[in-house]
Amino acid sequence: MATGVDEWVEVKPVKGFRLGTAMAGIRKPGRRDLVIMNWDSGSSVAGVFTRNRFCAAPVHLSRARLANDPEYFLVNTGNANAGTGDAGMAAAKMTTLELARVAGIDENKVLPFSTGVIGEQLPVDRLCKGIPTALEDLQEDNWYSAAEGIMTTDTRPKGASRQFVHEGKLYTISGMSKGAGMIKPDMATMLAFIATDVAVDQNYLQLLLRDIANQSFNRITIDGDTSTNDSFMLVATGAAGNDVIDASESDLAQKFIQNLKEVSVELAQAIVKDGEGATKFVTVRVEGGASQQDSLEVAYTVAHSPLVKTALFASDPNWGRILAAVGRAPVATLDVDQVSIWLDDVAIVNSGQPAVGYTEAAGQKIMSQESITIRIALGQGKAVEEIWTTDLSHDYVKINAEYRT
């Protein structure tokens, strides 16, 4: 049972951006499993993808076609089309060719995305039969149906939206994400799509997206597994009619960046809150690192520790597990005499020693919460990093053991 996942919030339509869905029966009948997105010509499109060397055929294809001024996203769930060799690449191309044929465009302007079971061939015929229905369904206010249509083991659709006013003009940023397991940075087993009506230069949009990904989707982890299909896409339609943003100096650019980050973080955290079998939402914050990398190494070592994660599931204030994880982090200059650790505001370690006044009851109270912050101070510098993770429960094992049945 996922923890702390907000119910669906109203996701505002974005001018010039449309979504359509269909029930194609890709893996199971009677559920939305095919999503098409389309936008006005002249829009800017940016994307970042998984770094897994076994990345899926649609990732290869989308990465290669990103520079072609794409006009459509074609997304399916139920089948990852990963680990499928030459046949998988041919299948991805066939689906984009069919969409291009029906829509009357160049196939190189269609970017495919897949999520689901790895190692099984994509049912091309079923997918292609669903394309006309999804195209007929294209509309700006279809975010909820689309967010349902990209789910796999997610317990509910995930969306986020922000609107802001600049010089009397209203701007919108809206998005959706999916993911619940096989989550680890360098992208995760996730898909995320964000659209805005702000006009943004293509090259700047790509640079900005990489930075935003590192502050959001590349700061989440559920189980330490990096997937094969991860993609984070951003479309700026420019329908708001502003002067094109090509740098971060203007007031409009700053408002846009802040709201884009908020949407991305909300979607990233929603994935963690919906983690497979998760009962806790855990923030691991590392302060005082000599470098950003040192802070991240400590944070991920704690977040990936099975002993820490199972203690979190049990609501057990066994803080020695946290201490041990910090001590084995690959940080050459770590000085344990400088390390302090807190559970929320309860000190458990102070300068390498058990905190004076700590009680088991105080630790138990914090560990029983659904939302917990583990704060670690290294005392070596000024670098601060924060990541978001979950506990590890019986249900996580059950969900993944039964994933293909």
CA distance 52 to 229: 8
Contact between residue 270 and residue 359 where contact means Cβ atoms under 8 Å apart: no
Q: Which of 50, 84, 96, 189 is catalytic?
A: 189
Report which of 396, 280, 300 is spatially closest to residue 344, judged by C-alpha positions.
Answer: 280
**3-state DSSP call for residue 168?**
coil
Asked about 172 being catalytic, the answer comes back as no
CA distance 216 to 244: 25
CA distance 129 to 135: 11
The DSSP H or E segment spanning 162 is strand 158-166
* Distance from the first to the final alpha carbon of the chain: 19
Q: At what angle do helices 292-304 and 306-313 cross, to 10 degrees?
A: 60
User: Can you give the C-alpha Rg of the chain in angstroms?
Assistant: 22
219: phi then psi, degrees, rounded to nearest 5: -125, 25
Report which of 231, 28, 234, 14 is spatially closest to residue 114, judged by C-alpha positions.
Answer: 231
Contact between residue 295 and residue 383 where contact means Cβ atoms under 8 Å apart: yes
Contact between residue 148 and residue 35 where contact means Cβ atoms under 8 Å apart: no
Q: Which residues are catalytic, by number?
A: 189
